[in-house]
Structure 1
Amino acid sequence: MRGDRYSRMVAWLKVALPLAALGLLSTLFLLSRVVDPTESIPFADTEVQDRLLNQQISGPYYSGTTANGDQIAFVAEKVLTPNGLGGANRAEDVFVKIEMVSGTTVNVTSNKARVNIGQDVADLTGNVVITTSQGYIITSEALIARIAALDLRSPDTVFATTPAGELTAGSMRLMSPEPDAPAQLVFTNGVKLIYQPKQAKD
């Protein structure tokens, strides 16, 4: 008698337990949040508009060789094309490296630059620093540079540390005066030099 009751209970549990498991699973599916595939991507409207209007390139790199054989490389953290317009690009965290045929190296850094490849010009602004392998360190707030030729020009006041001393000038230009001629670094417009002779070594 007791054995029949045990057998009936086991048989009943074999049916009840699977049904209970199915009920729990169906409850989980009913409680889960339905995902709408047509739901908008979680971007702010202003961010979407900015991405659509401003084409962005990260880590752009441009290099070329001038007619005199000088090598120029242009690197930036990123370049934006405002309003999707070609030609005028806005670069940030700019680095320019120039290796001259003579062996002199010139490095230029700036916070920003406005680059127009079609017009062969780049306007560098914001903490412009020029360093040369000959010991010159020149700072300015603006620099106009050609892209395909060796021609750097600062229309504003420049401050320079030179092998001869501290220098201040109203403008500066680094260029080759004519094809196949060596590059010249010229300071003009009110040049002031505080001469600092080198101390003789003991």
Structure 2
Amino acid sequence: MASPDNTYSRFVALAKILLPLAALALLSTLFLLPGIGKDSGGLPYAQVEIEDLARRPRISDPSYAGVTTDGTEISLSAETARPRSGAAQSTAESLAVRLDLPDGSHVTVTAPSGVLDPAAGRAVLKGGVRVTTSTGYLLRTEMLENDLTRTALWADVRVSGEGPAGRLEAGAMELTRSEDAGYVLVFKRGVKLVYDPQD
């Protein structure tokens, strides 16, 4: 009669041979049997999307950051940007610009679309532009230009919104640096203000 220790030793010796062989057999089925992995899906891009990217190249989530000549920190981001053919410009969607002024205030501008012109140092925001300032203004206009080299943004079309004094409308507006008054927001061309005193 074989001892229990001898039976266990034979089982271990046999397992050392059979288990690696079983593993090898399983692995070989992954590589040798035809049809495995045909329906894995590949890259998650449709052929139409690849063709569109090749025909109309674009950048996703582009961003720009810098400092103007007068010390304002400026950051610009978009959802997508597409280069314009034959021009050093890009059209962008879902634009957002933030100006952190040296005096501690800030201005945020958002728009559904726009044009970026790095060579000219300018961004033009279009189509439902919203301007929000830390000093309490919320303004809306259809088009606004932003200088990327100095602290300046302006709208030469109708502007409406609310400010600390009440509701206002104007034919144009400009944010710029004044030598004696710091950074000022100026409204021009038929300004109307409905004064709303705060209780």
Coarse TM-score class (shorter-chain normalised): 0.7 to 0.9
TM-score calculated relative to the size of structure 2: 0.73
Which letter maps to 1:94? L
Give me the whole-angstrom Cα distance separating, in 1, the residues matched to 2:87 and 2:50: 20
CA deviation after TM superposition for structure 1 residue 54, in Å: 2.6
1:48 Cα offset (Å): 5.2
**Counterpart check, 1:166 vs 2:167:** yes
Q: Deviations over 1:22-51 (max 9, x none)?
A: xxxxxx96xx7xx9xxxxx9624xx55542
Match of 1:52 among 48, 51, 54: 54
User: For the residues of structure 1 that align with 2:154 and 2:57, how far apart are their CA atoms?
Assistant: 29
- Which residue in the other structure is 1:196 paired with? 196
Q: Is the 8 A contact 1:55 1:82 kept in 2?
A: no
Q: Number of aligned pairs?
A: 161
Separation (CA, whole Å) in 1 of partners of 2:46 and 2:143:
40
Q: Which amino acid aligns with 2:116?
A: V
Aligned partners of 2:155, 2:104: CA distance in 1, in Å?
A: 23
Q: Does the CA contact (< 8 Å) of 1:53 and 1:82 recur in 2?
A: no
Structure with bigger gyration radius:
1
**Counterpart in 1 of 2:47?**
43
1:181 CA drift (Å): 6.5
Deviations 1:92-111 (A, max 9, x none): 11111110000111011000
- Using the TM superposition, give the Cα deviation of residue 68 of structure 1 relative to its aligned residue in structure 2, in angstroms: 1.4
Q: Are the counterparts in 1 of residues 65 and 76 from structure 2 also a CA contact under 8 Å?
A: yes
Following superposition, the deviation at residue 133 of structure 1 comes to: 0.6
TM, length-normalised to structure 1: 0.72
Contact 1:60 1:77 in 2 (8 A): yes
C-alpha deviation, 1:187, in angstroms:
0.2
Offset from partner CA, 1:60-101 (integer Å, 9 cap, x none): 110111121110000111111134x45110111111111000
**DSSP 3-state at the match of 2:53:** helix
Counterpart of 1:74, as a letter, is L
Query: Which structure 2 residues correspond to residues 48-197 of structure 1 after superposition, within 5 A?
Result: 50-83=52-85, 85-177=86-178, 182-197=182-197
Cα distance between partner residues in 2 of 1:183 and 1:101: 9
Gap regions ≥5 residues in structure 1? 1-27, 36-40
Residue 10 of structure 1 is matched in structure 2 by: none
Relative distance call for 1:60 and 1:194 in structure 2 (3 A) is same
- Whole-Å separation in 1 of the counterparts to 2:181 and 2:150: 13
SS at match of 1:186: strand
User: 2:68·2:148 contact (CA, 8 Å) conserved in 1?
Assistant: no
Q: Distance in 2 between matches of 1:65 and 1:181?
A: 21
For residues 86 and 157 of structure 1, the distance between their equivalents in structure 2, rounded to whole angstroms, comes to 29
